[in-house]
Amino acid sequence: MKGAVKAWWYTPLILAVLVFASSCAPTTPDIVAPSNSSEAVTCDDEYVAPVSTSEGQELHSLADVVERIKPTVTAITTEILVRDILGRTRTQETAGSGWIIREDGYVVTNSHVVEAAETVFVLLDDGREFEATAVYADSWTDIAAVKIDVTGLPVAPVGDSGNLRIGDPLVAIGNPLGLGISATAGIVSALSVSLSTTGSQALLDLVQTDAAINPGNSGGPLVNGSGEVIGINSLKIALEAVEGMGYAINIQQAIPVIEKLIEHGRVERAWLGVSVYPVSPALAERHDLAVDTGILIDQVVPNSPAEAAGLEVGDVIVQFGDKVIIDTHCFIRAIYAKDIGDEVEIVFWRGDETMVTTARLEGTPDA
């Protein structure tokens, strides 16, 4: 099985206590801009174009929604090797969910459900179970495509998450706690939510819902009132005083990633080669920075485009190409928008001096 594409930059900030739903358990920056600063735009402009493969009508009841989508939802069981405190290895089973995107055996799930697995099994709604023949995972977006050797499968209809409104009814379907497929209902609580998680991930433009999302629901579909998939259930906020804050990757962002995973087995992205922290007024005061927004470089990867461009630890990037960078999410969006081989002008602060450099972006290195 192929592993995930690993990121070399990361966002160390954790905005809340976030738990993946698998059973494993602004102000404008005050910058001295370059000569083309009048053309700079904020990071929210034109990020992802809508993707829609279905224009269904609202169904009469949530039972109709579940009846339409349930045959395409799968339970996923993985086997991973774990070590005890004595160094002995044993096999541990974990549970997740998925949904069928192609009739020739491609199932969508989260990368955190499958990327560490030795073996992946997919249980269909009709009771048949298959061992995955290939797993393609992209840890940057927490999306994976699993291939099973079967054809003629029912395919989940895909909707347009760009049409969602706060208050729209939603149904989350999956395999919570590994106990079998079940459904929970709720509404769209918020849109365009971005959250930093642990490690390399910063998930953008998430759909927030109060539909219950529990361990094992990861990778399952979040479905609109027409029985169309508009999101991939991924994580929830797990705090004792918090209820009903689950998040799904919106389908507009997911579809291009899924297509690349199926076609190429991985997603290649432009890469600069830095790890960064978001700059805040408190961080700026603590480190005596000249600006209180942007991203502070914590590490420059050797032999990376960032090193070749002369960037150093302690520099604060405030503009990347034509995008003003106010935080790590802006930086991630700006990177996503570039192609391998692009030359990008970068504006940054070093101490009390603003500087400009150009970096030629490379492809993301293999892990």
The pair of three-digit structure tokens given for residue 120, joined into one six-digit string: 């992946």
Question: For the chain, how are helix, strand and coil distributed in percent, rounded to 5?
Answer: 15, 40, 45
Please check whether the domain covering 8-25+49-67+159-251 is classified as CATH 2.40.10.10: yes
pLDDT score at 278: 85
Token pair, residue 291, equals 């600006």
State residue 364's pLDDT score: 80
Furthest CA-CA distance within the chain: 65
Task: Read off the pLDDT of residues 235-251 as tens digits, 9 standing for 90 and up.
Answer: 766 555 566 688 899 99
C-alpha span between 163 and 169 (Å, rounded): 13
Active site (annotated) includes residue 366: no
Catalytic residue among 97, 111, 112, 275: 112
Residues of the chain with CATH 2.40.10.10: 8-25+49-67+159-251
Place of tokens 């169904």: 59
CA dihedral (304, 307, 309, 311) positive or negative: positive
Both tokens of residue 305? 């485009």
Among the listed residues 218, 226, 275, 304, the single catalytic one is 218
Q: Check residue 38 and give its pLDDT.
A: 36
**Ramachandran category for residue 308: left, alpha or beta (phi over 0 → left; psi -120 to 50 → alpha):** alpha
Contact criterion met (CB below 8 Å) for 240 and 204: no
Residues 6+ apart with CB under 8 A from 46: none
Chain region(s) in the chain for CATH 2.30.42.10 = 270-363
Q: What is the pLDDT of residue 32?
A: 26
pLDDT given for residue 31 in this prediction: 24
pLDDT for the residue 161: 86
10 Å CB burial of residue 35 (0-12, 13-18, 19+) is: exposed
* pLDDT at res. 313: 93
| Structure confidence at residue 361 (pLDDT) | 94
Helix (H, G, I), strand (E, B) or coil at 37: helix
Q: How far apart are CA 91 and CA 64, in angstroms?
A: 39
pLDDT of residue 42: 55
Give tens-digit pLDDT for 140-187: 888 999 999 999 999 999 998 888 899 999 999 998 888 889 899 999
Backbone angles phi, psi at 357, to 5 degrees: -140, 170
112 is catalytic: yes
- Half-sphere exposure for 36 (CA within 13 Å, toward CB): 14
- Distance set, CA 273 to CA 55, 132, 312 (Å): 41, 33, 11
For the question of residue 160 being annotated catalytic, the response is: no
- pLDDT tens digits for range 19-55: 555 543 332 222 222 233 334 555 554 444 344 444 5
* From 138, 142, 160, 210, the catalytic residue: 142
Question: Which of the residues in the chain have pLDDT under 70?
Answer: 1-57, 60, 196-202, 236-244, 366-367
CA distances, 143 to each of 168, 219, 272 (Å): 24, 8, 22
CATH topology of domain 270-363: Pdz3 Domain (2.30.42)
CB neighbour list of residue 45: distance below 8 Å, 6 or more residues apart: none
